[in-house]
Amino acid sequence: MPRLTFLWHLHQPQYRTADGVVHAPWVLLHAAGEYLTLVNAIERSGLAGQVLNLTPVFLDQLAAYRDGTARDPLLEALSVPARELTPGATRELLRWGFLLHPNQLNRFPRLAELAALADGGSTEEVARRFTAQDLNDLQVLLVLAYAAPNLDREPELAGLAGKGAGFGESARRRTTAWLRACPGRLLDAYRRLAALPGIEIATSPWAHPIIPLLIDTRIVRESWAPHAAPAAPAFTAPDDASAHLRAGLETARSFGFAPAGCWPPEGSVSEAAVALYGEHGVRWLATDEGILAASLGRNLSGETGVGDELFRAWRLPAGGPVLFFRHRGLSDFVGFQASRFPDEADAAAEFAGHLRRTAAHLGPDAGIVIALDGENPWTSYPQGGARFLATLAQELGRSSQLQPATLAQRAEDEPARPLAHLHPGSWIGGTFATWIGHEEKNRAWETLARVRALGAARGGRSWLAAEGSDWWWWFGDDNPTLLAPLYDELFRAHLRDACHAAGIAPPVELAAPIRSTTTRLVVPLSLAWPEPVLDGKTTSYFEWSVATWVDAPPAAKRLARVALRAGAETLWLRVEPRRHAGPPVPLLVTMVAPGARAAWTLPDERPDRCAVSGVLEAALPLPHGRRVEVMLAIECGGERLPAEGMWRLELVEVDEA
């Protein structure tokens, strides 16, 4: 009888920096929602053949919440009565309270009403629209929005959901206490599942890095062949790749799990990576069918069905882990198509039918692997995924055509076919394009290489966290998100933390964004106008009258406005502080031009070309002279101009002919 395996990949990147602060609350919120949905479905159904791939960085963050060592500003905002919220806590609540799927909003009319109230205007303007009752309702409904698919097992929350609005202080306390307990409950549930027959816990390298690229980015050429590969910066750190594997397996064991196999991050493999997994005792790996097709040199899916090769175990001539390949069409049905059915039960029945029809054409020694993200799809399901999973378990329980099996069981029982060659790539298009090749992605690799050369690889878990694949996912323009600036900052924050842990000073370039989002800014260029006197005060009205002035946002506490003007080879800068704020120092200035990137901390790093008194005035060199595109950003005390990305300076000559 053909075997059937579900592999659920459960992962979140390291949102927690070395100071314990959590910069995005997704681990906490999804622990109350999608992760709990999957656990509940497996526990209720008793369905075997389930592999939960728990990434170590995800487990560590769950434990930090459980142990109270995660300082989450959103959780803190939920823990305070609405009338006592500080302006900062209110901003956190409004920042995260409406980053919801329409399904989550539409289940609670009051939540949709509050979302409409928050639409448009600055954060301060939005905050003024909310009454204490509005904020209290938001505190409760945010938790209920994530918990909704699981309310049949949470009677206390179900009663609050039925009320819908007008919540009191006791409701806020109950929902917050429930949310706070979810990460610990989830860890307990994973341990219970691990003890059941037919359930397997797998894992990944610690911070979920793209192991083939860590080993050597030159693999890009082979991955794209026979097509031309994009430009890719040189990076070779096999020791880092090994450190991730070692730390990942040790972490999983510290939670009481004994992983036999791994889902390689993003399904990314190469022959060198497979060998490394084998050196660390990993017995099986799973990736996408596109990798197998490229390895064999022929398509496996087509009008005539799916090739028999997809349903077999494989092994490279050099040995190492057994290789399994997921059925892409069936996996993508669960991940992307089933949510379009108005009734999840109909989607589950349709999917079970696909499985039975596939099994009917397979021999008794074949195996089907369904592998996908164990979190993302459920939010887009009409009922949050719970009904789909329950119905699917019932359908498969009645089937006599498929036998549930874990991948550890299959690796133990099935003879592996020899695979002469393994194509290097990921589950996305069979290449590494999501993580390298784009200008921003390459810039991140170059930054990583420069900081590593300083010795930051001695920075422990902070260094590993910076190598996680997720930061590269958000660089570039292929996966747009409103939170891209935050993820950019987190990448650089982990690098700064790694430098501190290694006992070295973080380079100033880590204060400048990797992302190249730009705002056009016209800057007058004059060869005739007298140069400004660098004395930190207004010597003459005329010295800056030719400049472009930019006001800081009203919420800025330190910066008031900035003036910029250019000469033949010099950019002149003037920065004025708010009243009573004191001089705008230290001021970080970052300048990027083709083939050049520089950063200065003023006044210390330009003492002869910078002066500070009531204001700051400085002269900065224009790389390659005035006929070049320049990007610029400044930062002082956590305030940046521009707020996101950099200014793209357009130097316009203003001298009369």
Local confidence band at 555 (pLDDT 50, 70, 90 cut-offs): confident
The tokens describing 633, both together, are: 């950003």
For the chain, helix (H) and strand (E) counts, in that order, are 24, 23
Q: How far is CA 391 from CA 52, 261, 632, in A?
A: 20, 28, 56
51-89 confidence digits (pLDDT tens): 999 999 999 999 999 999 999 999 999 999 999 999 999
- The pLDDT assigned to 554 comes to 87
Q: What is the pLDDT of residue 657?
A: 53
| pLDDT score at 625 | 61
Mean pLDDT for the stretch of residues 289-300: 94
Look at residue 399 and tell me whether its pLDDT is greater than 90. no
Tens of pLDDT along 336-356? 999 999 999 999 999 999 999
Q: Mean pLDDT throughout 39-52?
A: 95
- Among left, alpha and beta (phi > 0; psi -120 to 50; other), residue 376 is alpha
Span 309-327, average pLDDT: 97
The dihedral built from the CA positions of residue 330, 334, 336 and 341, taken in this order, carries a sign that is: positive
Where on the phi/psi map is residue 273: left (φ > 0), alpha (ψ -120 to 50), or beta?
alpha
What average pLDDT does this structure show over 578-600?
84
φ, ψ for residue 559, nearest 5 deg: -95, 135
For the cut 70, the answer to whether the pLDDT of residue 595 exceeds it is no
Tell me the C-alpha to C-alpha distance, in Å, between residue 581 and each of 411, 556, 577. 66, 11, 6
Q: How far apart are CA 531 and CA 533, in angstroms?
A: 6
Proportion of the chain above pLDDT 90, given as a percent? 82
Q: What is the pLDDT of residue 627?
A: 61
Give the model's pLDDT for residue 119.
85
- pLDDT at position 398 is 86
Task: Give tens-digit pLDDT for 175-219.
Answer: 999 999 999 999 999 999 999 999 999 999 999 999 999 999 999
Query: What distance in Å separates the CA atoms of residue 343 and residue 620, rounded to the nearest whole number?
Result: 63
Residue 303: band (very low, low, confident or very high) from pLDDT cuts 50, 70, 90: low
Does the structure show a pLDDT above 70 at 611? Answer: yes
Average pLDDT of every residue of the chain: 94
Q: Inform me whether the pLDDT recorded for 304 exceeds 70.
A: no
Mean pLDDT of all residues in 549-576: 93
- CA 246 and chain centroid, separation: 22
- Which pLDDT value is given to residue 153? 92
> Tokens 């994530």 appear where?
146
| CA separation for the pair 77, 84 (Å, rounded) | 10
pLDDT of residue 624: 66
Q: What is the pLDDT of residue 590?
A: 86
Residue 307 has pLDDT above 90, yes or no: no
Q: Which residues contact 268 (CB under 8 A, 6 or more apart)?
A: 210, 211, 212, 213, 287, 425, 426, 427, 432, 469
Q: What are the tens digits of pLDDT across the range 249-274?
A: 999 999 999 999 999 999 999 999 99
Does 222 have pLDDT greater than 60? yes
Contacts of 392 (CB under 8 A, 6+ apart): 348, 351, 352
Structure tokens at 475: 């660089």
State residue 656's pLDDT score: 72
Where is 65: in which H helix or E strand?
A: helix 56-67
Mean pLDDT to the nearest integer, 307-321: 96
What the block records as the tokens of 512 is 């400048």
The full set of domains in the chain, from first to last, is 3-9+197-340+347-375+396-418 (3.20.110.10), 16-45+59-194 (no CATH), 439-511 (no CATH), 518-653 (2.60.40)
Q: Taking phi first (over 0 means left), then psi (-120 to 50 degrees means alpha), and beta for anything else, what does residue 485 get?
A: alpha
pLDDT score of 638 = 77
pTM for this prediction:
0.85
| Three-class DSSP category at 16 | strand
- Average of per-residue pLDDT across 521-542: 90
Place of tokens 């500003």: 73
